[in-house]
Structure 1
Amino acid sequence: MTTTADNAPLLDRYNSYADGFGDVLATVPAEAWSSPSPCDGWTARDVVAHVVDTQRDFFAGHGVDLGPAPSLEDPASGWRTHREAVAARLADPSVADHAFDGHFGPTTIGETLLHFYGFDMIAHRWDIATAAGLDHRFTDDQLAEMEAAADGFGDALYSEGVCERVDVPAGADRQTALLARLGRRAA
């Protein structure tokens, strides 16, 4: 794996998102993987599959092969396999710095992975933990990052298949308000 000083911060950030996601997966009891998540029609395992599949599709769409899809029979193990494949590709500056015109304008594979898929790796932690009956609290930095991302997504956040607007409960704390903005009911 070749990493340059130029893309080391990007790789560090990806690893932070991926490791945080993996840490939540490691806490999920085996029997909870088939439990319904706050994502309508999805189990906890389905949420992991969504995160893995969307990243794989993104890379494939840019001609980057991540190798065979991991088995999600054990979602935590499958996630580790996936994140290692992604990190190996991101360590290559020719992959991370590959420029393209994205939905929100000119960007790179690395920046899109951080700003769009990084958001997913934070937000879906709560979905998986909730499906497993676990309490997951975002840090202030994670809340700020997701709020900024939601601002940047604008109305695209409410596109078909993304999320639906949910009223923010009166007196909601910051996390509950953000989750409502993301189409989730935390109460």
Structure 2
Amino acid sequence: MGEIGDRYRRRAAAFERKVAAVAPGDWDNQSPCVKWSARDVVDHVVAMHGYMLGPVGRSFGAGDDPLKTFQQARVAVEEVLDNPELAAQEVDTPTGRMTAEAQIDQVVSDDLVLHGWDLARATGQDEAMHPEDVERLWRSTTSIPAEMMTLYRTPGAFGPDVEVFGPEVEVPADAPLQDRLLGFIGRDPSVRR
């Protein structure tokens, strides 16, 4: 596995630990994503794994157990990243053609970090993101051209019920980079649920 695979594996392991740590009574807790519970956050991440796998002819079994289902999705994505032919396969995406591994890196791998924060906030876990991920995501999100960012902030622009980022939330200029990143993508790091 290369850099993308290593990054995915590290992020997936961190997300899996959060899923495993959710107390049985916390699955219905409200997440920072207004329309989603803690369970909905995991269901979204799992669904996104499926979207990444479909174009390369792969899938995984789904079930009612969030942890087991995520683990199956994770294994399936890692198999793609471990296979040079599948990882290099060109796929169509809403932002153009790219390799399967690039799409996994830009979409589902990043989701693991951001939605890991959502899950942690919803279930009372450690919310600290890996500093390297915060810096990388800050650079990539703040470099998105304005016209594309408008699309990312427009509900439904990439399909029914798809919301990539919410409206930017103002945070103090001297706030930690993680808080500024969260505000930029539409999360309010000061609001506790």
TM-score, length-scaled by structure 2: 0.83
Q: In the TM superposition, what is the alpha-carbon distance from 1:63 to its structure 2 partner?
A: 4.2
Counterpart of 1:42 in structure 2 is: 36
Counterpart check, 1:80 vs 2:71: yes
The equivalences for 1:27-176 within 5 A come to 27-60=21-54, 62-69=55-62, 71=63, 73-154=64-145, 155=149, 156-160=151-155, 161-170=163-172, 171-176=174-179
Paired with 2:144 and 2:15, the residues of 1 have a C-alpha distance of 21
Counterpart check, 1:16 vs 2:10: yes
Counterpart check, 1:182 vs 2:185: yes
Superposition RMSD on alpha carbons, in Å? Answer: 1.9
Q: Which runs of 4+ in 1 moved over 4 A?
A: none
For structure 1, the 5+ residue unaligned runs are: 1-6
Report the secondary structure of 2:36's partner residue: coil
Q: Is the 8 A contact 2:58 2:76 kept in 1?
A: no
Taking a change above 3 Å as real, the CA distance of residues 139 and 68 of structure 1, as seen in their structure-2 partners, is closer
Q: In the TM superposition, what is the alpha-carbon distance from 1:169 to its structure 2 partner?
A: 2.6
Paired with 1:43 and 1:135, the residues of 2 have a C-alpha distance of 18
Amino acid at match of 1:14: Y
Paired with 2:129 and 2:70, the residues of 1 have a C-alpha distance of 20
Q: Across the two proteins, how many residue pairs are aligned to each other?
A: 178
Report the secondary structure of 1:65's partner residue: coil
What whole-Å deviation, never above 9, does each CA across 1:66-110 have from its counterpart, x for those lacking one? Answer: 1322x2x33222211211122123222221100134333441001
Counterpart of 2:159 in structure 1 is: none
The one of the two structures with greater contact order (alpha-carbon pairs below 8 A, sep at least 6) is 1
Q: In the TM superposition, what is the alpha-carbon distance from 1:130 to its structure 2 partner?
A: 0.6
Taking a change above 3 Å as real, the CA distance of residues 103 and 113 of structure 1, as seen in their structure-2 partners, is same
Paired with 2:125 and 2:60, the residues of 1 have a C-alpha distance of 32
Report the secondary structure of 1:100's partner residue: strand
Q: Is the 8 A contact 1:38 1:131 kept in 2?
A: yes
Taking a change above 3 Å as real, the CA distance of residues 67 and 164 of structure 1, as seen in their structure-2 partners, is closer
Identical pairs, percent:
26
Report the secondary structure of 2:78's partner residue: helix
Report the secondary structure of 2:186's partner residue: coil
Amino acid at match of 1:29: A
